[in-house]
Each structure stands twice: as structure tokens, then as C-alpha cells.
Amino acid sequence: MNLLVARAARHVVYFALLALHQRTRWHSESERASCVQWALDSIAREVDALAAPSDPRVTMLWATLRGCVDRFDATTGDAERRALLQEVASIGRRLVIAASSGSFVANVGAVLAAAWTYAQQLALTLLCGAVVVATLAYNAPVRSVVIGSRVGVTSLAVLSVLAVCLFAWLEPAGRRPFWSPFAVPPPGRTANGWLPRTSERRFLLGLASSLGAALVLLVAAALLLGVMSPEFRSPVTVVAGLGVFFLAAHAIDVWDYFDPRPVRVFGALVAAAIVWISLGYTPDEPWDVRPLRAAPSHWIRSSQWPRAGEGPVVLLALSGGGSRAAIFGSAALATLDREVPDIARNIQAISAVSGGSLATAGYLATRMGRVDARGYDAAMSADFVWPLLRAAFTPELRAQAVVSSWNDLLHVGDVSLDSLAQRWNDGSLPMLPVPILNATDMSGHGVMMSPFEPAAFAANDRAACKEDQRSEAAWVCDRDESHAIQDLLPGVDVPLLSAVRASANFPLAFPLIPVRSPGPIPGHAQIGDPTRTRLTDGGVRINSGVDPLYYLMLSHREAIRRRGAVLVVVDAMAASRSGAVPGEWEILATLRRSSVSNVQRLHRVMVTRLAAEFGGRFGCVRVDAEPSSLSGVPTSWYVDAQERRTVRSHFQSDRWAAQRNALRWTFDAVGATTPEEDPALVEGCLARPSLQ
């Protein structure tokens, strides 16, 4: 019985204090009178609905409260009613304390019951708050933009302060009487419904004005911070979206409390319908490919590669990893140009994945004079999450928005695989490496996009390396499981940035790329329509870019034996760093990363086979950062200034100096007149690299 008394007393205190607060906000006598009368009527209903308690500890206080209610009708003056409400609030507080002062078990039960009631009333608020927290904690793209960067944390703090100030500023503007986003109604629905002057129309007006003012302030902050630093745009937008999502959920809870109709259920159904429609309606975004202007014979033929020259052929493999890989790969390429220009001049092919593909496109832009070194650096450091967010609120397509952003920075919109092949063949370009950008189709096959003719990768070496591969995947010895883009789309030219988009087609961030081949695609016989497939990020299959170079070298045995080859593996993958003993969740995460370990074994097979094939004419050097030094840099298309400095700092480290010296020694040893077989030539690549 005391629990019911305590609950009724809490309601009485709530109504009394709310009326005392609201009456100071309304200036006309009739408005104040209606507010006070509403509170008195609500208090009378609470008291009348409950029988007098039998517990002597609360009987006297209950009788006093009952006497105050009996005096309601006799009290008419504004000052008298205000004093009466203050007296009711004071008695109600004492009654709550007296009715709650029972046994420990009873008190705990009362607290739990009240907590459960509040949780029921704020169900959407709590649920959406949990979704927001889970998104910030476990959604990798959002976490990297907001929590994973100092700029994101700063913007979150700034927006939190702005939100608090916003509702403080709205207080004198008269909006909070209609709707307060952080106000918690008392537990238990009452029959009184809406407050005076708080009809559905006024509630909607107050809600719209509050959320509208919040959006205006957040957009103004985003624009201001965006002008000061573009790094703030993505974090501000993401945090603003999460904040509006949370406040809208709370608004539905508040409305559901006052309105007897199932507002919350209806709101949840509408939200679910919107989510379902947005997930179900994902139209294919067109892939920007063009008809081939020249004959297919214009592709770079096997006999034309490598270019004639002195010294070993240098081949680079750039790993994926979003902006981290783009910055690391671009820093590696720029540093090679600056510190070992004779080696950089001999780079004849670059195979790249995801972020490494963007670094490759930027490197070609610098070699073609489209951007300078500073522009190259700025392009790799740009915030590519912002175009995605912008496209989410405009008719612009996501992938097209990002490709347009890349072109604005690199100015290579007119460069395509066909144009690179033609310029290579007629010698109109300076010494440029041939790009090989890697994607993955939906059957797990690699797709190599390059100016090479498909025959350039036709290395069937299965019999020769069978004894070395043992239990490894059979395709390590030929390209049965990989396609050249010319295999899938003969007669089609792919712009350079469209190839980068396919290679960096990060799942969920970008839609899959639909491809329809004129004939059945090898390896797709089990699919309903073997002429159709979709392309996604190259890192889904192998995140290093090594395998196309393996095929390329075995397809050009004579040239490699004559000149030698140095494979440089630029690895931007981040290892996890933890001093804790792995638990169950860490073990499950290790199982999920088993494919990375398999790729490591395949790399060892490839390097071992190349060393056996070419002897002292082949060397391999790995360029990677200190294990775990990149663990704090997320795999995302957004990194802040501190993270960029962390990535680039490797190329001022002693570790890089040792790698540069190893590269110099390997280049000289492989290019010697009578090279000798030396296990040290490939030792760096045979060492097990860090797991992602």
C-alpha cells in the first residue's frame, strides 16, 4: 500500500512543481489561472483515486494533503493558489519519504518498479540511445570518423556543448513550455492528457521549432568549422545526424505519454518502413565506362613490356586500407622519387588495392604534371567521407560524388586505361609505370584493371610450382581465379578513376558495381546468369596486390632473367595492439582474420617460387611500419591531421632507413652482371608480416 502512496505523492509533487514553473512563463491572468487549475484538478484526481493509507507513519501526512485538496475550491486568488501549491509540494515530498521508508527489500522493489516504469515510458529513447552508443562503439566507419579521430572527439564535444546551450537559449524564447527534449514525465499515465496550451498542434510547433533551431545551429557550426578546417565537416554531420535521431525518438516517447493513441507504435512502424525501403531500394549506380575507341590490339602487349633500359625492373605492390593506405602508399612513392630516384625511374608496374589504387592514380597524376607534390599530398589527405554524407542528402549518387571529388583533386578525368595504353605504345608519355588496379567479383575472383592485354598475365605455372604449394590454393600458380577487365568487358574502356572506384568499392559505403559480359564468365557456371557479376573492393580477396605482379613476372621470364626484378611490397595494413591475454572474443576475432593468415602463406609461396625461378635475378623488399604503430589509424576514408602525421612519420624513422638500405642493396645485387643466388634477397618478404 505504501508503494502506491509513494507513487501518488510523486505525481502530486510533479504537478505542483510543474504548475509553479509554468505559471511564471505565461503572462496573462487567464493563462496562469488555467495552468494552476489544471494542476489542482490533476492533484485532486490522484488523491481521490487512492484510499486513505492504514500505515500510521503516513496517515497524518496523507490527511494533511487531503485537507489541502479540500481547500482547492475555496482558494481563488492567484497568490493564495500559489501558496497552496507550494504547501502541497512540500507535503508531497515528506509523504514520498515517509511512504518509502520501509524495509530494504521493499525500498529496492520500489526503486526497481519505478525504474521499470520509466524504462517503459522512455523505451524508444533508451533503444535509440543504445543504437547511437553501439554505432559509435562498433560501426567501423562511424567510429573512425567520430571516436577514432581527435577531430571527431572535438566535434562531438563542441556539438554537445552547443546542444546544451541551444536549449538554454530557447528557454527565454518560449519554446520549452511546448516540448523539452530532456524532460522526463512522471511514471504512470494520467487521465489529464495534454498540459494547458500544449495541444497536439502546439506540441508539433514546439517540436519542429526546437529541432529546426537545433539543425540551424548545427549546420551553422558545421559551416563555420568547415571554413576553419574541412576536417570538421564529416564528424559534425555524423554527430548531428545521430543527435537528431536520438531527439526525435525522445519526442515520440513524450508524445506517446500524453496522447492515448499508439503514437510510439506508429512512429516505430514508420521508422521501420523507412529503413526497410531504404535498404530494399538500392538502385545500381552506373559505372562510368566507355566504348573502346581503338582496336583491342592497342592494349600494351607482352612484347612491349618492360620498357628497354638498364637496371632491374622494379615492381610495386600497394596494399589497401582506405585513407591510411592511400597516405602510406603515396608517401612511399614520393619518398622513393626523392631519396632513390634511380630506383624510382625503373618502376615499370604498380599493382594496387583500394586505398593503394588511389595513391597509384595520384602518382600517375604527378608524373603526368597534373598535380605537384603538395597537391598529391593534399589529395591523399582529403576527407572522402564528406562526399558520401553530402550525397546521402542530395540527388547525387555516392560513388559519383567520391569520384568527382577525386577528379577535383587529381585532374585526371580524361585519363583512361586505353589512353594510357596508347600513350605507352606511341611513346608520348614520359616513363610511367603501368597501373594494375585490383577489384573482386561476387564469386571471389580477382579482377585486374590495367592497360595490359590479358595475355600479359597468362602465366600457367601450375606444374612447376606444384611441389612448393602443398596445401595452398591451387590458383597461386596461375590466374585461373582472376580475370583481366578485358575478359569481362571486351571493347570497353575504363577511366582511371572509375577503376580506382571499383578497386576501392568499400562494402556498404558504396553500392556494388554491376557488370554484364557478352559471354559466360569463367568460374561462374554455377550462377543462374553466368554473364553477370558485381564488383567490390579488391581487399575482399587479397589486400596486398602481389598476385598480379606474380603472374606478370612469370609471363615475362626472359626479360626478368635478362634484367632482374625487384618486388617492393608496400604494406599499410595495421596490426592490433593489446597487452591483454586474448579472451573468447579475441579468439573469435582471430578466427575471422584467418583469411589474412592464408594470404600470408600464399605470399610466401609466390616469393619462394619466384626466387626458385629467377635465382639471383629476383629480390623482394617489404616496406611497412613498425608493428602496431598504425593500429590507432582506422581503415576509413577519413583520418585526421594527427593520424596523417603518424602514417607519414614512418618515412623519417630508422626502420625506413633500414628498408631503404635493403632496397638499395637488393637493387644493386639483382642488377649485377653475374648475380649470385642469395637467400637474403627475399628474406624480408618471407618474414611473416603483421596481421591486420
Q: β-strand 347-353 against 618-624: which pairing, if any?
A: unpaired
Q: Which of 431, 435, 416 is nearest to 367 (CA)?
A: 431
Residue 279: what pLDDT?
Answer: 47
Name the CA dihedral angle for 371, 374, 376, 379, rounded to a multiple of 10 degrees.
Answer: -110
For the full predicted model, state whether its pTM sits above 0.85.
no
CB atoms within 10 A of CB 160: 12
pLDDT digits (tens, 9 = 90+) for 582-637: 443 333 344 344 445 566 777 788 888 899 889 899 999 999 988 778 777 777 77
**Residue closest to 47 by CA, chosen among 102, 92, 106, 93:** 92
Closest CA to 646 of 309, 229, 323, 253: 323
569 sits in which H/E element:
strand 565-571
The DSSP string of 25-57 is T--SHHHHHHHHHHHHHHHHHHHHTSPPP--HH
Predicted local confidence at residue 472, as pLDDT: 45
Q: What is the pLDDT of residue 153?
A: 77
Position 400, amino acid? Q
Distances (CA, A) of 603 to 61, 79, 685: 82, 86, 8
Exposure string over 177-198, b if 16+ CB within 10 A, otherwise e? bbbbbeeebbbbebeeeebbeb
Residue 122 pLDDT: 74
Q: Containing H/E element for 213? A: helix 200-228
d(CA 623, CA 568): 7
What pLDDT does residue 444 have?
79
Instruction: With a cut of 50, list the residues of the chain below it in pLDDT.
Output: 169-193, 279-282, 395, 462-478, 577-595, 689-692
In whole angstroms, give the CA distance from residue 638 to residue 235: 10
One-letter amino acid of 337: D
CA end-to-end span of the chain, whole Å?
Answer: 61
- Distance, in Å, from the CA atom of 85 to the CA atom of 441, rounded to the nearest integer, reads 72
pLDDT at 213: 66
What's the pLDDT score for residue 593?
45
- CB atoms < 10 A from the CB of 557, how many? 13
CB atoms within 10 A of CB 219: 14
Domains of the chain: 1-102 (1.20.120), 130-281 (no CATH), 290-686 (3.40.1090)
Phi and psi at residue 466, to the nearest 5°:
-60, -40
Burial of 386 (0-12, 13-18, 19+ CB in 10 A): buried
Residues 663, 343 contacting (CB under 8 angstroms): yes
C-alpha closest to that of 367 among 437, 430, 450, 300 = 430
Cell numbers for 408: 577535383
Quote the pLDDT of residue 548: 92
**DSSP class of 74:** T
